[in-house]
Amino acid sequence: MRHLAIIGSGPAGYYTAEAAQKQWGDDIRVDIFDRLPVPYGLIRSGVAPDHQSIKGVSRRYEQTALSENVRFVGNVTIGKDVTVAELQDLYHAVIFATGAPNDRPLEIPGEDLGNVFGSAAFVGWYNGHPQFTDLAPDLSGKNAVIVGMGNVALDVARILSKTRSEFEGSDIVAHALDALAASRLEQITILGRRGPHQIAMTPKELGELARLERATPRVDPADLPPEDDDAVLEPGQRKSVGHLRSFAAIPESERADASIEVNFAFYGVPKALKGEGKIQVVQVAETELSGGKLVETGALYDLPCDLLVSCIGYRTSPIPGVPFDERMGRFANDEGRILPGLYCVGWARRGPTGTIGTNRPDGFEIIEKIAADMESGRLDTGGKEGRAGFDRIAAARNLEIVTFRDWKKIEEAEEKAAREGAPREKFVKIEEMIKARG
């Protein structure tokens, strides 16, 4: 029997478990650990609450989770409750599918001012991640600045723009829904350090900005390159830039009813954040592309700002004893291999890129590598105790394990508590989750 420990129950974790089942059938036991009592990682706490169809993929993970040879072990932090070395003694392979839950810092003066957040924290707040429940962003000011032009920046801009009724059918948590409904924001600036051709936003998501009740996107036509230049772009990017062009063409008469403007500010990078305790101004350095390279022109301007959300990417959490690539913010690895018996997959392997689906081939690849390592003798295949050994440690340490069956009770309680039309009202505190399992 082969024993695998997967750390992290998000898409990368479950796709890897699914791949292990396909590879070894009955000859495998997989334990999927998570520091939270609830599974699914980014599906629960990263995917926007108004993108429910994307969240539906968790039904596929549930099929894997409910099979005999895969087990969810929630509320256990590896590196704190149990060490990596202990897991390595018990399992043939330990696979980190821990994602990239920490914000990449801007590394500029003033980053510690009030009402300045990274997207992991801000998205975690509106998605009910227990770590960020108490974030309490102040939405009483007029001006928000979002740094970065990726899909996370788009999610944040859209969530900040929506009215209460536009959240119908979403699972945005009550504390965020109430705060957003009382927001006084009028201007949301999405600040990008490069130009329209270099945005990292995908067309479907960008198109949603044009269909908001009280917000209208604005692009200055002068910022757009000549239309013929779009021909060099790959089709998806051309579509995205097409959306920017249509935003630039919205007539002023159609803007009259909008109480929020979502403005695209290209070629600017934040240099310093200023304010008395709380952010008031972003000092922006103008940039340009010179031979494809980003350079500052030397010109500076001030952007009023009452709330700043930085959406510039994420870093994986290091774990004591596991080699880490500081520069890339992920585990040091060679195509998923970290050290003999230690592997990584998903964002923990490749950094925060790609869609949820990208993690499926990733999961299958890492299992192929583990199988090859077992075959070649690089990985020991005998004498491991697996889950029975873990259960002994857990009992000796009084760990409060949450099983998949417990999760189903938590899920049922969340579904029962849902406001009308919503799929669930999430518990936002770990104690509440544990209590709900009965």
- Rounded distance between C-alpha atoms, residue 231 and residue 229, angstroms: 5
Q: Which of residues 231-290 bind ligand NAP (CB under 6 A)?
A: 269
Given candidates 10, 13, 128, 192, which one binds ligand NAP under the rule CB under 6 A?
Answer: 192
Query: Should residue 311 be labelled a site residue for ligand NAP when binding is judged by CB under 6 A?
Result: yes
Give the residue with the Cβ less far from ligand NAP, 49 or 150.
150
Q: What is the DSSP string of 229-242?
A: GGGGS-HHHHHHHH
Query: Should residue 313 be labelled a site residue for ligand NAP when binding is judged by CB under 6 A?
Result: yes
Give the residue with the Cβ less far from ligand NAP, 75 or 98.
98
Given candidates 169, 354, 357, 361, which one binds ligand NAP under the rule CB under 6 A?
Answer: 354
| Per-position x/- string for 124-153, each x denoting binding to ligand NAP as judged by CB under 6 A, each - no binding | -----------------------xxxxxxx
Q: Element (H or E) spanning 388, and its range?
A: helix 387-396
Give the residue with the Cβ less far from ligand NAP, 155 or 411.
155
Query: Should residue 155 be labelled a site residue for ligand NAP when binding is judged by CB under 6 A?
Result: yes
The closest of 216, 225, 79 to 158, measured between CA atoms, is 216
Give the residue with the Cβ less far from ligand NAP, 49 or 341.
49
Query: Should residue 206 be labelled a site residue for ligand NAP when binding is judged by CB under 6 A?
Result: no
Residues 6+ apart with CB under 8 A from 274: 110, 113, 280, 281, 282, 283
Which residues are registered as beta bridge partners of 307?
Answer: 144
Give the residue with the Cβ less far from ligand NAP, 95 or 157.
157
Sign of the dihedral defined by the CA atoms of residues 348, 349, 354, 355, in that order: negative
Given candidates 63, 67, 259, 355, which one binds ligand NAP under the rule CB under 6 A?
Answer: 355
Give, in degrees to the nearest 5, the angle at Cα 23 between 17 and 24: 90
- Rounded distance between C-alpha atoms, residue 152 and residue 100, angstroms: 14
Given candidates 120, 200, 212, 413, which one binds ligand NAP under the rule CB under 6 A?
Answer: 200
> Are the CB atoms for 133 and 323 separated by under 8 Å?
no
Query: Should residue 353 be labelled a site residue for ligand NAP when binding is judged by CB under 6 A?
Result: yes
Give the residue with the Cβ less far from ligand NAP, 21 or 316.
316
Structure token pair of residue 270? 């934040």
79, exposed or middle or buried, with CB in 10 Å at 0-12, 13-18, 19+? middle
Query: Should residue 35 be labelled a site residue for ligand NAP when binding is judged by CB under 6 A?
Result: no
Shortest Å, Cβ 149 to ligand NAP: 4
Q: Element (H or E) spanning 394, and its range?
A: helix 387-396
Query: Should residue 352 be labelled a site residue for ligand NAP when binding is judged by CB under 6 A?
Result: yes
- By CB under 6 A, name the binding residues for ligand NAP: 147-153, 155, 192-194, 198, 200, 202, 205, 269, 311-313, 352-355
